[in-house]
């Protein structure tokens, strides 16, 4: 009902829903992971990358009161209120809570697809991701309940923007190993059917709708129309519809970037996903008129792009560098499978995957240069763990040529912009909700420091990152 009752008053109520969650409302199960809980907190002597893309700020003090950032500025100029709980963060860096736009609760391997209702929300929060868009649900009702349980303070986790199930045309297909059939999408046959699914999920509480690779233009058009009527936005992992077509159809966001865009494929037929088109992407000239035309259309129609570099990287032999945190968190059987796939790939001498990956990175840099709105997500998959993948994106943006400040902006402020919550989230600024990530070290000069998250503030409540990660040891891939 919420979406169909939008009036001036309802909009105010919706805006008001971004109130800070008070620590006093947290259940013991959540409170167990809280390390900083005081009405007024001062983070002193810290470096700050504030999410605006501006320069790294040295020796800053951030005052948090009632779940919001009350003030931020040079440690000499910002007064620490009497009675504040002060944390000396010399040697640390603070960034805004990350906003993950392709951050599923579901985890996929070559032979299984599992909902991580227990571990995913914990890992996102522990990693500094305080807001997620789920972008395709295996269990839409688990996600709906999870969101409510997090909001009620009964489960630790990020704020959630829901998408409902994947919507695709076509038939169930195999993913990874033969017989690992994807049955959980909503496969539609007509625009009318697609419209009905959208209407249903909008009523149920989806904030976004996620389209998948075989959707037709007519179905996508019906989805966009029905969704927008109900205040719901549309994104997609596309193929049969190219990015320029998505812009023309009025979609709000396209996921995954270069490696799924069929704008440049000579074999592309209308409404069809061309076979093996990724092979032919290597030949695309990033300075060509065709690429410029894509960017021009996306910018003109305000279509954001969600980058998911972390999910593509493992297709490159020996990448990413092995992360002990991943091995510790995975269930033993899932870990063995992950290592098997990784070792198999490591034997490959083929450089295609590496060249394609680099091209995907360059495409994103070029999109931002062209004025595009690039945000980030990570798609948990084969050793790419919830939250850890969002952190890996930071390193991959710097490798691509973005500045550290731009990388933080992509991971925080840009995501908030796409979700329409910039007024409350996305940057370190007075008046915003106190979603802040405390990092030991200096990720601006040593990108891998992004992994050294110590405290994650959500609504001004500080969560113990290490304790949350420890709580899922050996469970990822199963729970």
Binding site for Zn ion (CB under 5 A): 379
Sole residue written with tokens 């305080």: 130
Strand (E) or helix (H) holding 415: helix 413-419
User: Which two tokens mark 179?
Assistant: 């017989």
For residues 25 and 154, is the Cβ–Cβ distance under 8 A?
no
**Least distance between Zn ion and beta carbon 210 (Å):** 8
Cis peptide before 320 (omega within 30 of 0): yes
Q: Which is nearer to Zn ion, 377 or 404 (CB)?
A: 377
44 or 261: CB nearest Zn ion: 261
Nearer to Zn ion among residue 219 and residue 379 (C-beta): 379
Nearer to Zn ion, 220 or 238 (CB): 238
Q: List own/partner pairs for 267-272 with CB under 8 A and 24 or more apart.
A: 268/242, 270/217, 271/216, 271/217, 271/218, 271/240, 271/241, 272/240
CB of 256 to Zn ion, least distance (A): 8
Which is nearer to Zn ion, 418 or 453 (by Cβ)?
A: 418
Q: Closer to Zn ion at the Cβ: 303 or 436?
A: 303
d(CA 273, CA 45): 53
**Minimum Å distance from CB 441 to Zn ion?**
30
CB neighbours of 344 closer than 8 A, spacing ≥ 6? none
Give the residue with the Cβ less far from Zn ion, 63 or 113.
Answer: 113
The angle that helices 217-229 and 191-204 make with each other, rounded to 10 degrees, is: 30
User: Residue 226 or residue 379: which is nearer to Zn ion going by CB?
Assistant: 379
Nearest-approach distance from CB 136 to Zn ion, in angstroms: 5
Report the distance separating Cα 386 and Cα 107, nearest Å: 8
Q: Which helix (H) or strand (E) holds 236?
A: strand 233-236
What is the H or E stretch that residue 439 is in? Answer: strand 436-440
Closer to Zn ion by Cβ: residue 234 or 408: 234
Neighbours of 369 (CB within 10 A): 10
User: What is the nearest approach in angstroms of Zn ion to the Cβ of residue 384?
Assistant: 11
SS3 122: helix
Q: How far apart are CB 102 and Zn ion at their closest, in Å?
A: 6
CB nearest Zn ion: which residue? Answer: 379
Report the C-alpha gap between 108 and 91 in whole angstroms: 37
Nearer to Zn ion, 46 or 381 (CB): 381
Q: Give min distance, CB of 162 to Zn ion, in A.
A: 14
Q: Are 128 and 391 in contact (CB under 8 A)?
A: yes
Of residues 98 and 438, the one with the C-beta less far from Zn ion: 98
Query: What one-character-per-residue DSSP string does 151-217 give?
Result: HTTSS---EEE---SEEESS--EE-SSTT-EE--SEE-SSHHHHHHHHHHHHHHT-SEEEE-TT--H
Phi, psi (5° rounding) for residue 234?
A: -125, 130
Smallest distance, Å, CB 255 to Zn ion? Answer: 7
Give CA separation, 221 vs 190, 231, 245, 249, 293, in Å.
Answer: 11, 15, 10, 6, 21
Least Å from the CB of residue 402 to Zn ion:
22
């Amino acid at each position: 009902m919420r979406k169909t009752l939008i009036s001036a008053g309802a909009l105010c109520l919706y805006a008001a829903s971004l109130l800070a969650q008070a620590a006093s409302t947290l259940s013991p199960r959540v409170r167990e992971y809280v390390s900083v809980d005081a009405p007024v907190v001062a983070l002193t002597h810290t470096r700050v990358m504030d999410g605006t893309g501006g320069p790294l700020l040295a020796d800053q003090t951030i005052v948090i009161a009632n779940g919001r950032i009350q003030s931020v500025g040079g440690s000499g100029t910002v007064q620490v209120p009497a009675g504040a709980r002060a944390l000396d963060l010399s040697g640390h860096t603070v960034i805004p809570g990350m906003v993950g736009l392709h951050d599923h609760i579901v985890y996929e391997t070559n032979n299984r697809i599992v909902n991580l209702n227990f571990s995913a929300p914990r890992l996102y929060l522990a990693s500094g991701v305080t807001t997620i868009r789920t972008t395709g649900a295996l269990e839409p009702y688990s996600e709906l309940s999870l969101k409510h349980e997090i909001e009620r303070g009964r489960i630790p986790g990020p704020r959630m923007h829901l998408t409902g199930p994947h919507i695709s045309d076509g038939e169930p297909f195999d993913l990874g190993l033969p017989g690992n059939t994807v049955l959980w999408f909503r496969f539609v046959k007509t625009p009318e059917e697609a419209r009905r699914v959208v209407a249903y999920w909008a009523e149920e509480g989806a904030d976004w709708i996620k389209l998948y690779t075989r959707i037709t233009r007519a179905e996508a058009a019906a989805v966009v129309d029905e969704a927008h009527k109900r205040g719901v936005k549309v994104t997609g992992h596309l193929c049969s519809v190219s990015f320029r077509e998505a812009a023309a159809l009025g979609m709000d966001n396209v996921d995954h970037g270069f490696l799924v865009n069929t704008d440049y494929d000579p074999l592309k037929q209308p409404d069809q996903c061309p076979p093996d088109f990724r092979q032919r992407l290597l030949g695309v000239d990033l300075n060509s008129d065709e690429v410029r035309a894509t960017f021009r259309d996306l910018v003109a129609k305000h279509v954001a792009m969600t980058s998911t570099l972390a999910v593509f990287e493992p297709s490159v032999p020996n990448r990413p560098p092995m992360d002990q945190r991943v091995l510790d968190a995975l269930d033993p059987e899932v870990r063995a499978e992950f290592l098997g796939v990784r070792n198999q790939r490591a034997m490959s001498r083929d450089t295609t995957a590496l060249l394609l990956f680099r091209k995907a990175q360059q495409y994103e840099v070029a999109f931002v240069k062209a004025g595009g709105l690039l945000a980030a997500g990570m798609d948990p998959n084969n050793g790419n763990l919830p939250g850890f993948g969002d952190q890996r994106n930071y390193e991959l943006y710097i490798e691509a040529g973005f500045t550290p400040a731009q990388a933080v902006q992509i991971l925080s402020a840009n995501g908030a912009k796409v979700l329409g919550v910039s007024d409350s989230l996305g940057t370190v600024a007075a008046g915003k909700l106190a979603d802040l990530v405390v990092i030991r070290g200096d990720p601006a000069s040593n990108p891998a420091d992004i992994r050294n998250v110590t405290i994650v503030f959500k609504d001004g409540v500080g969560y113990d990152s290490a304790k949350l990660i420890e709580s899922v040891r050996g469970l990822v891939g199963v729970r």
